[in-house]
Structure 1
Amino acid sequence: MTARSRAQSFDAAAAQYAASRPAYPAALFDRVEEFACRRLAGARVADVGAGTGIASALLRERGADVIAVEPGEAMAGEFRQALPGVPIVRGDGNALPLATASRDLVTYAQSWQWTDPGRSVPEAMRVLRAGGALAIWWNTTAFDVPWIREQHRRIAHHCGVKPRSAVRPSDDDAVRLAGLTGLRVTRRQLRWSRAVSLDTHLANLGSRSAFLVLEEADRRAFFVDERERLARTFPHDEVTETYVVDLLVALRP
């Protein structure tokens, strides 16, 4: 299964994605402002790979002037329903449909991995104004929480993907892996959690590309077993999901 196929798979579960995916903590946007050396209020922001608008909504709440870029038709449809006043254009990070030097900040929430940094980094730098910043971030696995670590291993095994290392990369390695070598980059990791119902937790898992590319029977088999297992761990139907947001902010040279 190619990365392109996995990236395109989200359209099949756009409503599920919108209803179940986690947002991001307020502290993340405080750090974006700190590292980008400007307030979000009044900033012209392009949110790329905007999906159903989770990050775009939070950026707008901070006063940013947001335009979204999203390749998926169904994902863009969910975005328009959630944020009818925010413009959204179809496209992806490898060829941004935005004017040169038109944005103060370009953001990628949970979407940088679907780009080719050899193309997406120059595109971000082209779109940014002098003194602008590229901010990319992910909600990543909290491996120190035993049940989350074990669930991650079950998912990797069932979906036939390589489990992520429980050892997080150093700052230098994270910059290299993101394709940002040669730029002035600041990194911060922020821990946060949310309490959701078991149904929401399972829907969140099911909206991941690793599951979306599986046959329906394979998906169903995993979630039947996982529901029974988690119901024993969380008998009151409330699951506390813990995340570590990994943030990288690169300044335009």
Structure 2
Amino acid sequence: MTASSRALSFDAAAAQYAAGRPSYPAALFDCIEESASCRLAGSRAADVGAGTGIATVLLQERGAEVIAVEPGKAMAGEFRRALPDVPIVRGDGNALPLTGASCDLITYAQSWQWTDPGRSVPEALRVLRAGGALAIWWNTTAFDVAWIREQHERIAHHCGVKPVPAARPSDSDAIALAGLTGLRVARRHVRWSRTVSLDTHLANIGSRSAFLVLDEPVRHAFLVDERERLRRTFPGEKVDETYVVDLLVALRP
């Protein structure tokens, strides 16, 4: 299964993705402004791999003028239903369908890993204006919360992938892994939480690419077992989720 195939697998569950995926805290956008030394209000931003618009709407609420870039047809359809007044174009980070020096900010919320940094970094630099910023981030696992750590390990085992190490990579390693070596990069961690219904929590799990590429009976079996397990931890069927946003902001020279 190629990375591009997994990236496009979200199209099969676009509505589920929109309903279950977590958003991002206001503090994240404060960190972007601080790291980029700019205000989002009045900036020209491109949200790449925008999906159903979870990050796009938050950028817009902060006053940014946003254009979205999304490769998936169904995901773009969900985006248009949710944000009919925000322009969206089909494409991906390896070949941005945007003119050079047209943006103050380019963002990748949960989507940088679907690009080839050898192509997406030069593309970002081409599209950014001088002094502009590339911001990439992920909602990552809060490994210090026991039930979340244990669930992460169960999901990895079920999907046949290696669990993510509990120890986070150093700043230099994270920058290298993202392909941003040689740029001026700031890294921040933002911890936040939300309380959702058990159904929403399971919908979030089921919308992950590692699940979407599995056969439906295999996905279903895990989610049935996980529902019963979580009912013992959260008998009221309200799940307290904790995330740590890992943010990298690279400045264009």
TM-score interval w.r.t. the shorter chain? Answer: over 0.9
Show the counterpart of 1:12. 12
Partner of 2:200: 200
Matched residue, 1:156:
156
TM-score (norm 2): 1.00
TM-score by length of 1: 1.00
Q: Tell me the SS of whatever aligns to 1:225.
A: helix
Aligned-pair CA distance for 1:3? 1.2
**Matched residue type, 1:119:** R
The residue that corresponds to 1:115 in the other structure is 115
CA–CA separation in structure 2 for the residues paired with 1:185 and 1:178: 11
Which 4+ residue blocks in structure 1 deviate beyond 4 angstroms? none
Partner amino acid, structure 2, of 1:132: G
Hey, what does 1:94 align to over in structure 2? 94
The one-letter amino acid of 1:226's match is E
Question: Is 1:34 aligned to residue 34 of structure 2?
Answer: yes
Number of corresponding residues: 253
Give the counterpart letter for 1:11 in structure 2: D
Q: 1:229 and 2:229 equivalent?
A: yes
Specify the SS of the correspondent of 1:104: strand
Deviations 1:103-133 (A, max 9, x none): 0000000000000000000000000001100
2:223 and 2:109 mapped to 1: Cα distance?
Answer: 26
Residue matched to 1:56: 56
Query: What is the SS of the residue equivalent to 2:185?
Result: strand
Matching residue's letter, 1:205? I
Question: Partner residue of 2:66?
Answer: 66
CA distance in 2, matches of 1:196, 1:110: 20
- Percent identity over paired residues: 82
* Structure 2 residue 38 is matched with structure 1 residue 24: no
Q: String of CA shifts for 1:119-163, please: whole Å, max 9, x gaps.
A: 000000000001100000000000000000000000000000010
Q: 1:208: how far off?
A: 0.2
Q: CA deviation at 1:2?
A: 1.6
| 2:216 maps to 1:219 | no
Counterpart secondary structure, 2:30: helix
Distance across 2 between alignment mates of 1:82 and 1:69? 15
Unpaired runs of at least 5, structure 1: none
Long gaps (5+) in structure 2: none
